[in-house]
Structures are given as structure tokens and as C-alpha cells.
Structure 1
Amino acid sequence: MTTEKNIRTDWSLDEIKEIYNQPLMDLVYQAATIHRTWHKASEVQVCTLLSVKTGGCPEDCSYCGQAARYHTDIKVKALMSRDEVVSIASRAKAAGSSRFCMAAAWREVRDNKDFDRIIEMVQGVNELGLEVCCTLGMLTENQAKRLQEAGLYAYNHNLDSSENYYDEIITTRTYGDRLNTINHVRKAGITVCSGGIIGLGESHQDRIGMLFTLSTMPKHPESVPVNALARVKGTPLGDLPKTDTWEMVRMIATARILMPASIVRLSAGRAEMTEEEQAWCFMAGANSIFTSESETLLVTPNPGLQQDKKMFETLGLRPMNREKTPAAL
């Protein structure tokens, strides 16, 4: 095992399979060692994720409660105002967040007044000194450039699963569509946030395949969210069993080894995890969480601010300080 500060983008499937299939304790030890070489193990980036436009999405992502075609209890909400979003972002910063992500339940960005309002939101949050992230669906190269000029720091566009399994969970866009958006984001000079979901019914080989795609990109995503399926009643995957925490630990540890410089985000699924289970994820190399003053992660449950504060105190963790100088507008 090497702990040199060396980033590889030429991993083979066989190499990733060998890492992933190690005995769990050996895997976690290797990942924890690499994590401490590249990062301060006691620091965790706290991010706030806000749904600025909720529900009514035309896509058929089989895990998502915001898809209009499924009968869920999710209430459709129109696009929020710029001032309301900036106010929430200001409170998030005061509570310890250093990244603020705005999500809109769109298939793709359209060049209209709603996108103009998103641009205004990005400008307003950027002025607070936060890392500004958006997840808005598919983007053109020109739209990505507009976001970058407004001060966008990161764009989230998850692969969700492997290319081989992708058609089992989504049919309204292709894997290539997702990769194209990531390429547009890169060309615009915006950092990439891209990971996936486990617990969708996929195989271990599918998880390895997704990690292969991420870790062999010309430049690794600066942010890699690892999500456990957040089950929503009324969706095709709403009755699947809870994702096993040890599977999350294995996925996080492998991602940490393959992409040592990236921020690995312990994302959806924390509401069903104990403090001890989350501690294992941090030990395996996770160094970011999502939080929300409404105790939701988009439209699914998430631990509250006070609960996370208590966990940080217990584990000896502290929020990562990543305040940045607002980009020139």
C-alpha cells in the first residue's frame, strides 16, 4: 500500500475490484491511512442543500419522489425568490456550512426567466463567501458558462449508477447525457460534484463500474457524493430494503482510495444511520455531510443541525473552514 500524494486516472476494473473486495477492516485501514495523508481527519465540510424548486419533474428516475408521474406525498413548490434563498444561505453559513447547494427539479435548464433568477441566486450566495453549488439537470456549454460568470463554484450531476445498470432506473435521459453535462461544466471552469446511489438493486459489479467511470475521468470530480437510497413511498423503488451501512462504508472507502484528493460526501441515508454507523463512514474517508435547517435533504428526512453538532462533539470533529473570496462579477 502506498500513501504517496499521487493521483491516478488510469485505474483498471480489475484493480478497483481487488480494492473493493478486500476484507472490510483492511479496506477501511487503507482508506483511513490515505485519508490522513491528503486531508485533516478531524475536519468535515458541512454543506447545506436547499430545494429551490420542488416536484413536478418530467423524468422517470425510479428512486425520486419529485417525478411527476409517481403518486407520492411530495408537494410541488414553485421556484423560490432570490431574497428568500440568500437569507437561508446566510443562516446556513452562520450555522457552520461552507457550501450551499441549490437544487431545482428540472430535466434540463432552459434559457428563460427562471434561469435568470437562478443566476441572481448564485450571485447573491457567492457574495456571502460560500462555495456555491447547483444541481439543475442537464446544461449546455453556454449555460454552464453563464453560471460560472455568476460565481458558481460547483455543479452537481450524479451518475447514479454504472452505465450497464443505468437503463434499469432511468429511461428519460442517457448515461451519455450525464457525461456531456459534466464535460460542459469542466469546460466552463466549474468544479464537478458527481457520485451515485447504492441500494437501487444494483450488483457489486455495478458499484465498481460507477467508481471506474468516476476515477478514470481526465480529472477526478472534486466532490463525490455517496448516497444510500432514500426510499420514497409511491416510487418504483420505495419498497426496497434499507441499504446496509457496511455497504456504504465499503463504497466510501473505495472511493477514498481511488480519488484521494476529492471530498467524499456522506449524503442521503444518514437519517437511518446511528452515530456509530456514521463514525465508521468518517473513518473510511468521508469528509463532508449535507445538512438542512428543515431536517430534510431535498424531500427526504435528514438529521437536524443540533443532532449533527452533538455528533461532531462526540467524535471530535469540526466543520471544515473553506470560506472563499467571492468571485468577481
Structure 2
Amino acid sequence: MTTTEPRATTPAPPASVEPRRPRRRRTLAPYVYLAPAMTLFTLFLALPIGYAVYLSLRTVKVSGLGLGSGARQEVWAGFSNYSRALGDPEFLASVGRVALYGLVLVPTMLGLALLFALLLDAKRTGVKGFSRVSIFLPYAVPSVIASLLWGFLYLPRVSPFEYVAESLGLPTADVLSSNVILFAIANIGLWGGVGFNMIVIYTALKAIPQELYEAARLDGATERGIAWRIKIPIVAPSLILTFLFSMIATLQVFAEPTTLRPLTNTISTTWSPLMKVYRDAFTRDDIYSAAATSVVIALATFVLSFGFLRLVQRRAFAQENG
């Protein structure tokens, strides 16, 4: 009779204990840093926008002769202020003038900014520091002061250009006339905006690796070919950015025509959409119609900016996304 000895069982390996991950401590530091910016954004941007939208949906109901404590009451108006603003001939005419103003100003300004940036980036260009400062300096002048300076240059009686032209027997033109006033206002914007856009484009040009230029020169490319085939395509995102800023500034033109208006009778109080908003709010005391018009301008600016970016983002930003 045989007896079987029990087999020795090997002890099971101990289960692996996962190390405890340290718990992330929630800190209030990010919220503390964001609090000032969010507070300023809420107080000076979000709340005014919300209040403007609220006013655009209200109006004043006048009973009787409008005298007495309860004769004027603020009531709900719905979208009547918007329909009245969009159907106002003065508003539509101001939109047409600003559109023509943008067609004259924006391409000329960006073309000169690109030309100056390419010239400053060229190797043979001398006194680059002085050139950059002299081109950028007009942007540092406030638009109201620039408009006053150009306004006195436009006036025939005090303009030195008029005096020189008369001394030389050359023909003169009234720059503040109704046929030329749009170009006179565009010239002020051109004088002040070229420098800023030039700095943006020039900064993008300085970020291009020099190896690309050396390889192109070894292949026999000229400086003009390098500028056309290498520099301009690479700085296309900067050109789009400057075009977007210029378009927004064009839709918000206000200081230049308002400052020139006392010098001539060819600029009406509704020459631009923002001038109409100012007239309705502070001259006619119709803040409800002014609020509706301002909301329409803001929505149009957003739609045009967003639509333009959606239109060009695939082609212009393909190199960055790839």
C-alpha cells in the first residue's frame, strides 16, 4: 500500500499594490490672477453690451403733451427700433460712404505697408532704424490731432501747399469739396495706419529663416523673385491679420470726419454710421434708436470678420496647420 505525500504548494505571489497617486490640490491662484481681467471685462464690455441690447428693445411712449411725471414712460418695443434703423435712408447712405471709404483706404494702406516692409527687409536698405521710426511715427499721433493737422493743411487760406501752388502758378483744388472729401478723410487714415501695419508685416519678415533666401539665391533667384515667391506667401497670415484690423477700423471711422466737420459743410452729421449713432443719442436724445443702430453695426462687424476668416483660413493658414 503506497501513501502519496502531499505536494508542496508554492505560495501565490502577492498582489501588486498600485502606488497611490498624489491628489491634486485645488488652488485658487489661477482664479485670483484672472479676477482683475474678468472684472474689467464684465464691467466695461459685457455689461455695456447687454445694456445696449436692452435699450434697443425699448422705446418711450408719450401721452398727452409729454408734460408731467407720468407723461413719458419706457415701454417694450420689440424689434421696431431695428426695422426703423435698417430702413433709415441716412443710415444706408452712411454705410455706402463707409464702404467706398474702405475700398479706397484698405488696399492702398496695406499695399504701402507691404512695400515699406519689403524695402526695410532688403539687404541694401540703409538707415533702417530711422526709416522704421519715421514710418511708424504718424501712428503714434492721436487721430483727433492728426485730423486737425490735416484739416489746416486742407484749408485754402492757411495751407502752405495752396500758397506754394499759387506762387508757382499751378492749379489748385478744394480738397474739402463734396467730390474729394472722401479721399481727404482716407488720406488721414492712410497717413496714420501705414506705420502700424508695416511693423506687423516687417516683424513677420524678420522671422523667416535666412536659409530660405540663401537656397533661393543659389538657384538663381533675384531679390524681386524672392520677395514675390517666398516673402509674400510666408507673411500671408500677417497680411490677413492687418486686413482684418483695417476692416474693423474702417467700419468704426468716427474721429476723422467728426473733427473735419466744423471746417466744411460737405460732411453731414450722419456721414458714417457711428456719427449717426452719436447724433441720435446726444443730439436728438433718442438713445433707443442709437442703441439699435450700434447693435446692428456690432453684428455686421462680427459677421464680416468671422466670414472673412472662414473664407481665407484654409489657404492662408494651411502651412501652420500642416
Q: TM-score, normalised by structure 1?
A: 0.23
Higher-strand-fraction structure: 1
Larger radius of gyration: 2
Higher-helix-fraction structure: 2
Q: TM-score, normalised by structure 2?
A: 0.23
